[in-house]
Amino acid sequence: MLKDSRIYVAGHTGLLGSALTKKLKSNGYTGIISKTRNELDLTSQSEVNDFFKNEQPDYVFLAAGLTGGIIANRTYPATFLHTNVSIQDNVFDAAKKYNVKHLVFYGSSCVYPINCPQLMKEEHLMTGMIEETSEAYAIAKTTGIIGCKSYNYQFNTNCFISLIPNSMYGPNDNFDLEKSHVLSALIRKFHEAKMEGKESITLWGSGNPRREFIFCEDVAEASIFAMKNAEKLQNTHYNIGTGVDYSIKELAMIISRIVGYSGEIKWDRTKPDGAPRKLLDSSKFLNLGWKPYTNIEDGLKVTYEWYLNNITIAKEIAC
């Protein structure tokens, strides 16, 4: 990518999209293109085609999509499936039609089997049953991963790059208690419990499942690195993680300390845990020369500070 290349960041107001925009600008890229949801409906094929025809982007970061935690995935599976598949299909087709040089697509660690061997390797994709509550979302993301590979193969190109970051967090995350992922939901729960002076807080599940978390700006750096090193990439997906995981109990303790909540933490074991562990093997991408740099404590402090300064915005994002 040249500094004046036309770079479309889809989903620029979201968790990853905002981090990408920030990193690109700080690195001196001046041709950044962005559209709000009201300006461009990515689920509309005609609108997407018109946009690509008029804007002629050279590079695309497809950070737009519908995402959520266990409650949202279980409640709105058809919406998650339709929205994500529609966006992916429309953007992929337009990228090919209007000669985009490289496009980065983002999968999710939930595409791997629920009882996947640890560490989870790229070749474990579609080798077993996926976690039930994430089924529709995972199938949509798997479609995108296979889509990247299929376009590259059929049209003899290396245009489509597929990255699978593990659970992302950071500024501009979704803090809705029903639609967010576990980390951002915990930040809000502990903050509100502290503000309300609650003596205890009850969290879902046993707290035993282990999760790997990666700061959104690290994923943004990995994405830009992938664009710059596209010629080195094989026609496959690449895991993007830190190599460190935490139990939900450990995560809760870290967040409660950062937030300043000192009450009792209880666990509702009647609620689902999800997959027992999701730790990625990111060695293939790490061996290309990239590495994460943000530890969980520092990332959480930045995220909580953003939440405190943007509580009104955070609640608007949740809606």
Task: Locate the domains of the chain by residue range.
Answer: 7-174+213-244+278-295
Report the distance separating Cα 170 and Cα 216, nearest Å.
6
pLDDT of residue 291: 95
Mean pLDDT of 40-45: 97
Strand (E) or helix (H) holding 201: strand 200-204
Query: Could you tell me which CATH class the domain 7-174+213-244+278-295 is placed in?
Result: alpha beta
Residues 222-258 pLDDT 10s = 999 999 999 999 999 999 999 999 999 999 999 999 9
Instruction: Give yes or no for a contact between 57 and 6, defined as CB atoms under 8 angstroms apart.
Output: yes
Q: Is pLDDT above 60 for 315? A: no
Mean pLDDT of 144-152: 98
Q: Is pLDDT above 80 for 312? A: no
Strand (E) or helix (H) holding 51: helix 45-55
Report the distance separating Cα 68 and Cα 22, nearest Å.
23
User: Which residue is catalytic, options 112, 137, 169, 246?
Assistant: 137
pLDDT band (50, 70, 90) for residue 313: low
Active site residue 137: yes
CA atoms lying within 13 Å on the CB side of residue 39: 9
pLDDT of residue 70: 74
Give the sign of the dihedral formed by CA 254, CA 260, CA 264, CA 266.
Answer: negative
Residues 171-206 pLDDT 10s = 999 898 777 788 999 999 999 999 999 999 999 899
Report the distance separating Cα 119 and Cα 122, nearest Å.
10
pLDDT band (50, 70, 90) for residue 280: very high
- Least confident interval from 87-96, 156-165, 173-182, 218-227: 173-182
pLDDT band (50, 70, 90) for residue 274: confident
Residues 113-125 pLDDT 10s = 999 999 999 999 9
For the chain, the average pLDDT equals: 94
pLDDT of residue 272: 82
